[in-house]
Amino acid sequence: MFKALYLQKDESGFSAQVRELPALEPGDGEVLVGVEYSTLNFKDGLAITNRAPVVRSFPIVPGIDGAGTVLASRHPDFKPGDRVLSTGADVGELRWGCLAQQAVLPPDGLVKLPEGFSARHAMAVGTAGFTAALAVLALEQHGLKPGSEVLVTGATGGVGSIALALLARAGHRVTALTGKPAEADYLRELGAAEVLDRATLAAPGKPLQKERWDGVVDALGSHTLINALAQTKRHGTVAACGLAQGGDLPGTVMPFILRGVTLAGVDSVWATRPQREAAWQRVFEALDTTLLERITEELPLSQAQDGARALMEGRVRGRIVVRIDG
């Protein structure tokens, strides 16, 4: 038996509780991992609080990220004893996830942990940090050079915090957009040169505005994304990786056809293995563990539901890692 956060939904309603479940076995091509740490991402918060239909099959164990040790493997790339992390690949949405002591995982989302990078540190990064790294790489692949002016929206969130840190360490001048002005010191500690109030970009604006940004990492969507596009310099790039404000795109084509702006989508769920390896390598090289400790709060599995509610209510700064207790 193993402990897991278990979600059920049927005609009688929705429920979430930590309970014991029968031990798992990997199928063909799958890997059984003893999970030591998981984390709470935006999707996890939506699933655990039942605020949006991100879960596509009930009952389910949520948790799109996990890290720990391979217990059994039916895939040639992984063997018992390997230290691994997992993100995406429909885990916690369609497949049982990692807010549990055991998880049967597809190889598509698995990456081996390097020496010196613990399971806890990996989950302090998680899908949020992995997404941030993919967004930074997308900007660089479209020509972003050190010393550029870059905007990061949703900067106190998990994606924003790590994107800000990665960009600052790469030599860019980073402006942080946030709805939490009290966190300005925290954002400057991560490397922000300037902090802007989220309200400045949250409402409808002109289709073309004063050019400010060589690149943008946007985790909000909706009017914020449209205003960021309208302020992006000629031939600049905006990496879109979230929809915390909304999934709509209420704008015009003017930034694209008059300034040659690129809107680059970031897919962290089904990133290819080369993309995963490049993004995680960037994280492993650029982020020191001291920084990760400063942006991370730890909770036991028994408090994961409380953490999910706090995340959905905007009361979380940085990252929450979930310790999977024995």
**pLDDT above 90: residue 75:** yes
What would the mean pLDDT of 85-91 be, rounded to a whole number?
Answer: 95
| Strand ranges across the sheet with 262-265 | 192-197, 173-178, 149-152, 213-218, 232-240, 262-265
Q: How far apart are CA 252 and CA 232, in angstroms?
A: 14
Q: Is 294 exposed, middle or buried (0-12, 13-18, 19+ CB in 10 A)?
A: middle
pLDDT of residue 273: 84
The answer to whether residues 318 and 297 touch, using CB atoms and an 8 Å cutoff, is yes
Beta bridge partners of 192: 174
pTM of full prediction above 0.85: yes
What would the mean pLDDT of 278-293 be, rounded to a whole number?
Answer: 88
Q: How far apart are CA 164 and CA 100, in angstroms?
A: 31
Q: How far apart are CA 246 and CA 221, in angstroms?
A: 5
**pLDDT above 90: residue 307:** yes
Least-confidence region, from 103-107, 115-119, 153-157, 255-259: 115-119
Beta bridge partners of 111: 85
209-259: per-residue pLDDT in tens? 999 999 999 999 999 999 999 999 999 999 999 999 999 999 999 999 999
The answer to whether residues 238 and 262 touch, using CB atoms and an 8 Å cutoff, is yes
The answer to whether residues 317 and 295 touch, using CB atoms and an 8 Å cutoff, is yes
128-145: per-residue pLDDT in tens? 999 999 999 999 999 999
The answer to whether residues 97 and 61 touch, using CB atoms and an 8 Å cutoff, is yes
Q: Where are the beta strands (DSSP E) in 51-191?
A: 65-73, 83-87, 102-105, 110-112, 149-152, 173-178
237 vs 290: which has the higher pLDDT: 237
**pLDDT above 60: residue 26:** yes
What is the sign of the dihedral through the CA atoms of 60, 63, 68 and 69?
positive
Q: Is 76 exposed, middle or buried (0-12, 13-18, 19+ CB in 10 A)?
A: exposed
Q: How far apart are CA 12 and CA 18, in angstroms?
A: 19
The proportion of the chain whose per-residue pLDDT surpasses 90, expressed as a percent, equals 89
